[in-house]
Structure 1
Amino acid sequence: MKAHERAANIALAGLTLAPLVVKVDPNVNVILTACLTVYVGCYRSVKPTPPSETMSNEHAMRFPIVGSAMLLSLFLLFKFLSKDLVNAVLTCYFFVLGIIALSATLLPAIKRFLPKHWNEDFIAWHLPYFHSVSVEFTKSQVVASIPGTFFCIWYASKKHWLANNILGIAFCIQGIEMLSLGSFKTGAILLGGLFIYDIFWVFFTPVMVSVAKSFDAPIKLLFPTSDAARPFSMLGLGDIVIPGIFVALALRFDVSRGKDNCYFRSAFLGYSVGLILTIIVMNWFQAAQPALLYIVPGVVGFVAAHCLWNGEVKPLLEYDESKMAAESSSSDEKPEKKVE
């Protein structure tokens, strides 16, 4: 065999054996992951009956104050205590929360393959020596907790960014699915307060950025970069859950009226545009940005413009899930009329 033919064969062999590596820009990863998480969480929030407990206007007003107190407390903990000690305690805490969140996220898929009575029959477990404290669960929930437990063990031992992200996504899906704003008025109050909260703690103090970098727990999504000075692009879970519950409210509003996701599309588009704008500005200035500065006007603005265009401001502002839940429960309690 001639030398050039051997060289060609070696090159061809190297080409066929080389692994296929698809590199995706971390900024694209941030946008796609956050948007997909919001989309899944919103559709999982649509239930046969409205949520029984919803956030009130007072709770929405207090939320930024409570959040600020918690953020400042974490900042002081990292400043005056050992970072390793604080993160060890937080790892234990999120280990338990992670099992619960992953189990709840996997449960709908696992239930399909289990006997019906495993999904419906509850088992009551009483805490030893404190028999008044009890926990109810089904066999299906126990089965769902098995993969969640093994996954959390992997996360706690390796702290891999992918394990962090999967846990973070589970937290976000559960948050969007379970939390209810109740009305668009409450949602506007909450998003407006957190809009100011995010701007203050990112632009006017080092607290938010310091806690985000020190906090070694799945409270943010991480995506590796090729920049040694900034090894990860990150997005806080609050930037997914908080606007996500507003987008989910828009979807349930559409479902309640039997419309084809009109306002959900506007809210979801507003979230996507706000998130993309956050990434653009962050890369332009090479500095951390308060994502809610761009996401809140996007979500609220797109929904507001849509309802003004349709002339449906009144029905949107009058929508209240707590009233719907009360009406649903009262109608269920009414005895059926006997037909003779």
Structure 2
Amino acid sequence: MRAGTVLTMATVRDWPVAAILLLLLGVFQAEAQEGILRASSKETSPKIREYCIIFNAQWMPLPSTLTNATNYQLQDLTSTELCNSSDVPAEGIKDKLVVVMRGNCTFIEKARVAVGNHAKALLIASTSGLIPPKGNTSEYEQLQIPVALISYDDILSMKKVLGNQISATLYSPPMPSMDYSILIVFFIAVGTVALGSYWSGIEEPESESLSPESRSKTRRGSKNEDTANILTPVTVLFFVIIVIVMIVLLYFFYKWLVYVVIAIFSVASTISLYNCLSALVRRIPYCKCSFMCSSRRIEVRLVVLALFCITLVAVWVVFRNNDRWIWILHDCLGVAFCLNFLKTLKMPHYKSCVILLVLLLIYDVFFVFITPLFTPNHESIMVEVATGSGSGSSEKTTGTNLMELAVAPAPRNEKLPVVIRVPRLVPSVATLCGIPFSVLGFGDIIVPGLLVAYCRRFDVETNGYNIYFILCTIAYAVGMMLTFVVLIVMKMAQPALLYLVPCTLITCTITAITRKELRIFWTGSVYEVLQGFNPTSTQTDKFPRAQQLLYDDDPS
């Protein structure tokens, strides 16, 4: 068995590990929680600098323009945490924009002290990553002042450049709801599903070149191997349980498990990229030099290809937090992973597809819409994990409040590498706060894609006209467009499967009923359905491909 085949089988037989990479099933855009602190000096030569701030728009929205914004005198209290009134200096903080350190009390407790001493706004300097302030709804509704996070390094830079007499303005320029990055994500998703599903129905060139007898033996010999690649109803349930367990674990132990996911993605994407590219390289009739190794003949060009794939993934690992350009390589690896998954993992029948899609639809809706009802900060577990701000990231909960811990300087918060990311085309906030992205979870490509791939293989085995494949691909595209429309209108995270699952399942069901093929489509493989197939029956004309397959598998 060749190296490429070994890699493919190893990936699929470890499908429970691959399930970890599918836990992010919600499509959403990075929420507009970024703002700008415009600071100016009151000294003889006025200077102006702008800095990124992160705020929670549900607490106290910031003005959208400088015209509507209020100018405050900034008072630096970064020597304190403002956890109680004793931290307030003797001269007071009345009518000031106060800057304090992030510490061992909640943002709300700091804000209460600031409000009680008549401050006009509160900035919390952080030495770690910046995340939107969180807390109980019943508590933050009582706040009457803006509260935001700012990097402590920016405070030091501000004082160095502007001196001690600083006035500042807080505002947040609006981000457009519609962005061309959505179209890029759409074409990546639909293209990946269509290509991976079509590839799933293509026989290997080597098997096509064999005689009918040899091809029949090869097909029968590979059935046992393909059993490990099939998601039966039982394995579907096990698959969904793994996904649920992993997202809950990531919510509580994010800062540790995120590196496990990164490691798994690195290995899986290396293998997937190799399998995708090797399928193209093997079709090139040149440079077929090879050598013997342990009684196996290995092509030199495949060894070079393997080293190339390892190098690309190594580059991604090193520069994974560089948002300026690494997203291109990340998306290429993600597309390769999805393509390889759709090519190798097979759904045996429509019944398994329905069970998988419906269960993951329930999972998706539950973790996006229901979990905010009982999480401490009333945030969705799905979105918390997706944005890297779960309860185990850099915070901990005590009672019903979200506690902020004083931590040493640390690198920016790691993100799960299980999404397609495309930078949004936005104004100056992106330059200050980093690049916002439109993202789509791998699960929103692979889970409906498994149904599309099944339709492709069903077409190949029965009619050969790609009727189900084309219609299901169109239904996926419609469901994705509907997802984006709702996302833009509601301006909040959306579980994409809520729209993708009904569109694809309804389309496939109506097509099967219209063609009077629902029974064979539901039970799947012609090897199971057409036992005792009679070549003289009326089914001969309707399922010519099925007839040929049964002949190939008939030992007589």
Asked if these proteins are the same fold (TM beyond 0.5), I'd say yes
Give, in whole Å, the separation in 1 of the partners of 2:248 and 2:297. Answer: 36
Q: Which runs of 5+ in 1 are unaligned?
A: 1-23, 126-134, 336-340
Choose the corresponding residue for 1:94, options 259, 265, 268.
265
Aligned counterparts of 2:266 and 2:516: Cα–Cα separation in 1: 48
Once residues 75 and 163 of structure 1 are traced to their aligned partners in structure 2, the CA distance between those partners, rounded to angstroms, is 27
Structure holding more helix per residue = 1
| Separation of aligned partners in 2, 1:282 and 1:187 | 26
Instruction: Tell me the equivalent position of 1:208.
Output: 382
In structure 2, relative to structure 1, the CA distance for the partners of 1:141 and 1:124 (3 Å cut) is farther
Q: Pairwise CA RMSD of aligned residues?
A: 3.0
> How far 1:95 moved relative to its partner?
2.4
Corresponding residue number in structure 2 for 1:334: 555
Give per-residue Cα distances to partners, 1:91-114, cap 9 Å, x unaligned. Answer: 333222222111111001112335
TM-superposition CA deviations, 1:287-332 (whole Å, max 9, x none): 11000000000111111111222222122123227749x9979956
Determine the structure 2 residue equivalent to 1:150.
311
CA 87–62 in structure 1, closer or farther in 2 if over 3 Å, else same = closer
Q: CA deviation at 1:73?
A: 1.0
* Counterpart AA for 1:93: I
Alpha-carbon separation, structure 2, partners of 1:276 and 1:177 = 25
The structure whose residues are more often strand, as a share, is 2
Cα 1:141–1:71 change in 2 (3 A) is farther
Q: Does 1:32 align with 2:32?
A: no
Deviations 1:38-64 (Å, cap 9, x if unpaired)? 111011111435862221111123332
2:446 is aligned, of 215, 236, 241, to 241
- Using the alignment, how far apart are the partners of 1:183 and 1:27 within structure 2? 33
Q: Distance in 2 between matches of 1:294 and 1:312?
A: 25
Counterparts of 1:267-278 in structure 2, within 5 Å, are 267-278=472-483
1:182 touches 1:322 (CA, 8 Å); kept in 2? no
1:106 maps onto 2:277 in alignment: yes
Per-residue deviation, 1:185: 0.7
In 2, the alpha carbon distance for the partners of 1:322 and 1:30 equals: 38
Selected match of 1:62 from 222, 229, 238:
238
The alignment partner of 2:387 has SS state of helix
Give the AA of the match of 2:387. Answer: K
Answer yes or no: is 1:222 the counterpart of 2:398. no
Kindly indicate whether structure 1 or structure 2 has the higher relative contact order, using CA contacts under 8 Å at least 6 residues apart. 1
Structure-2 residue corresponding to 1:74: 250
Q: Deviations over 1:160-197 (max 9, x none)?
A: 11111111101100111011110001111111111101
Q: Give the whole-Å Cα distance in 2 for the aligned partners of 1:241 and 1:122.
A: 37
CA shift at 1:153, angstroms? 2.0
In the alignment, the residues of structure 2 paired with residue 38 and residue 29 of structure 1 have an alpha-carbon distance, to the nearest angstrom, of 14
TM-score, normalised on structure 1?
A: 0.78
**Larger Rg belongs to:** 2
CA distance in 2, matches of 1:138, 1:239: 36
Residue 42 (str. 1) matches residue 197 (str. 2)? yes
Which range moves more in the overlay, 176-185 or 303-312?
Answer: 303-312
Q: What's the secondary structure of 1:265's corresponding residue?
A: helix
Report the Cα distance in structure 2 between the residues aligned to 1:111 and 1:268, rounded to whole angstroms: 28
Aligned 8 A contact 2:365 2:495 in 1: yes
Where does 1:296-315 land on structure 2 (aligned, <5 Å)? 296-315=501-520
2:328 corresponds, among 149, 157, 162, to 162
Aligned residues: 295
Give the Cα separation in 2 of the matches to 1:200 and 1:321: 36
Percent of aligned pairs sharing the same letter = 28
Give the whole-Å Cα distance in 1 for the aligned partners of 2:469 and 2:440. 23
Deviates more, 1:239-248 or 1:97-106: 97-106
- For the Cα contact (< 8 Å) 1:183–1:321, is it kept in 2? no
Indicate whether 1:177 and 2:343 are aligned.
yes
Amino acid at match of 1:67: V
After TM superposition, the score normalised by the length of structure 2 is 0.49
The whole-number CA distance in structure 2 between the counterparts of 1:137 and 1:243 is 36
Q: Tell me which residue corresponds to 2:147.
A: none
1:204 counterpart SS class: helix
Aligned residue in 2 for 1:131: none
Rate the CA distance shift 1:117–1:35 in 2: closer, same or farther, 3 A.
same
Consecutive unaligned residues in structure 2, runs of 5 or more: 1-178, 204-218, 321-325, 372-379, 389-413, 532-545
Q: Could you tell me how far apart the structure 2 residues matched to 1:62 and 1:44 are?
A: 26
Provide closer, same or farther for how the CA distance between residues 38 and 123 of structure 1 changes in structure 2, counting only shifts above 3 A. farther
> Alpha carbons of 1:236 and 1:322: their partners in 2 closer, same or farther (altered >3 Å)?
farther
Q: 1:266 to 1:334 in 2, by over 3 A?
A: same
2:125 match: none
Paired residues of 2:422 and 2:438 also in contact (CA < 8 A): yes
> Which shows bigger deviation, 85-94 or 168-177?
85-94
- Inter-partner Cα distance in structure 1 for 2:512 and 2:239: 27
